[in-house]
Amino acid sequence: MSGPIAFVGIDVSKAHLDVALLPDATTFRVANDPDGGAELIARIASNTPPTVVLEATGSYHVGITLALAAAGMPPAVMNPEQTHAFIQSEGQRTKTDRIDARLLARFGQQKRPSPSPVLTQNARDLRELVACRDDFTKLLTMEKNRLHVVTDRTRSHHQAVIDHLVAERRTVEREIAALIAADAALTERLRIVRSLPGIGVVLGPVVLAGLGELGQDGAKGLASLAGVAPHIQQSGTRKAHGAIRGGRGTIRKALYQMAVTAVTRNPVMKAHFRQLRRRLPYKAAIIACARRMLGILNAMVREGLTWKETKVGQGQFLPDPA
């Protein structure tokens, strides 16, 4: 090698890891298994940990992500939408695993992304269980909708599927509760999250599992990650217009539901919502409330405070009565 490795791009597939190194432009391939991970780490290890970039690929990236973190080189696990936009901006039309690895290394060189938080085993299990519960809920909705249009000939079969899904969802919910109760850190984190207005038994684990970044020093980018940050669109004489897009859909939905409940039942958020409605339509005002509450929640988790222990929760920022 010509010098210290500064940037590493890893294209992940089920069987292989294609790796590109910068600045020496080396590429190589290893198996996506413990032995391949050990070989990769040995080849990129240096006194100064490099910036490692890879894409989230279902579960295929988990093993190498944990191995790199254990070796002191936690990678930046990127949303494929973000890296694909970068690849398109590079004008690259040919697609191979090796080329993708090179472009991920170049992404790291230009964008300098921060390492992604490394979840504990319990946190990863919680995320999987919450996703499983969400899948069962979607299937239940589908089956209940079918029940309205089927005839008596098949109604009992659909009802049997519904009964089975309900039972399995309850089992998953019990496993979620048991997993959190057995982990002191998750229990404390959930206590703080559940204290926020609008977050109950169901939404608490969803937010807990889907936003491992909560509690970071700076909230910059957290709203975008959660899908509640407005992105401005303006060109020429066209008036600037902000719209939310991207981010984690499940979290955006949870935060929206949280805000709808909060602006109805909590006096602090109800007052804030009324102020926003003077200049914003209903949904935009709800999203603005969700964004504000997300920022407050991030500070709560960072400082170890419940909603009632914050100045906002104590009503100190309520507007003066009219």
Q: What is the pLDDT of residues 264-312, one digit of tens each?
A: 999 999 999 999 999 999 999 999 999 999 999 999 999 999 999 999 9
Structure token pair of residue 251: 């979290």
One domain, residues 62 and 95: yes
Region 80-96 average pLDDT = 84
Q: What is the predicted pLDDT for the residue at 318? A: 61
One domain, residues 71 and 127:
no
Q: Which domain holds residue 161?
A: 121-182
Do 166 and 212 reside in the same domain of the chain? no
Q: Residue 246: is its pLDDT beyond 60?
A: yes
Looking at the domain assignment, is residue 57 inside a domain? yes
Same domain, 78 and 165: no
Domain final residue pick, 56, 77, 111: 111
Report yes or no: 6 and 50 within 8 Å, Cβ to Cβ: yes
Same domain, 93 and 145: no
Tell me, yes or no, whether 189 lies in a domain.
no
Q: Which amino acid is at 142?
A: M
Cβ proximity of 127 and 210 under 8 Å: yes
For residue 48, the model assigns a pLDDT of 85
pLDDT tens digits for range 200-239: 999 999 999 999 888 876 666 888 888 888 877 766 766 6
Same domain for 227 and 263, yes or no, is yes
Residue 281: phi and psi, rounded to 5, are: -70, 170
Please tell me whether residues 69 and 146 are part of one structural domain: no
The pLDDT score that the predictor gives to residue 221 is 80
101 and 137 inside one domain: no
User: Cβ of 89: how many Cβ atoms within 10 Å?
Assistant: 10
76 bridge partner residues: 53
Query: Is 2 part of any domain?
Result: no
Collapse the DSSP code of 18 into the 3-class scheme (helix H, G, I; strand E, B; otherwise coil) and give the result. strand
Q: What is the pLDDT of residue 322?
A: 45
With CA atoms as reference, report the closest residue to 101 among 174, 19, 169: 19
Instruction: Please check whether residues 125 and 46 belong to one and the same domain.
Output: no
Asked whether residue 33 is domain-assigned, the answer is yes
* Claim to verify: residue 31 and residue 104 sit in the same structural domain: yes
Q: Distances in Å between the alpha carbon of 244 and those of 47, 78, 198, 224, 241?
A: 41, 19, 21, 8, 10
What average pLDDT is seen over the chain?
A: 90
State the pLDDT confidence band at 1, using cuts at 50, 70 and 90: very low
Summarize pLDDT for 166-181 with one digit per residue, the tens. Answer: 999 999 999 999 999 9
Q: Indicate yes or no: pTM above 0.85.
A: no
Would 77 be classed as within a structural domain?
yes
Last residue of a domain, one of 90, 111, 132: 111
- Percent of the chain's residues with pLDDT above 90: 72
- Give yes or no: residues 35 and 107 share one domain: yes
> Which single residue is written with the structure tokens 């609008």?
198
Residue 130 pLDDT more than 60?
yes
| Distance separating alpha carbons of residues 317 and 315, to the nearest angstrom | 5
User: Residue 189: pLDDT above 50?
Assistant: yes
The structural domain count of the chain equals: 3
Q: What is the mean pLDDT of residues 145-171?
A: 96
Q: Are residues 13 and 60 in the same domain?
A: yes
Which of 79, 111, 143 is the endpoint of a domain?
A: 111
The answer to whether residue 248 scores a pLDDT higher than 70 is yes
Residue 239's pLDDT is 67
- 107 falls within a domain: yes
Q: In degrees rounded to 5, what are phi and psi of residue 5?
A: -80, 125
Name the one residue in this structure whose structure tokens are 């603005």. 288
The H or E element containing residue 248 is none
Q: Tell me: pLDDT of 321 over 70.
A: no
pLDDT for residue 240 is more than 50: yes
How confident is the model at residue 3, as a pLDDT?
59
19 falls within a domain: yes
Q: Which CATH number goes with the domain that contains 33?
A: 3.30.420.40
What is the pLDDT at residue 121?
92
- The answer to the question of residue 192 being in a domain is no
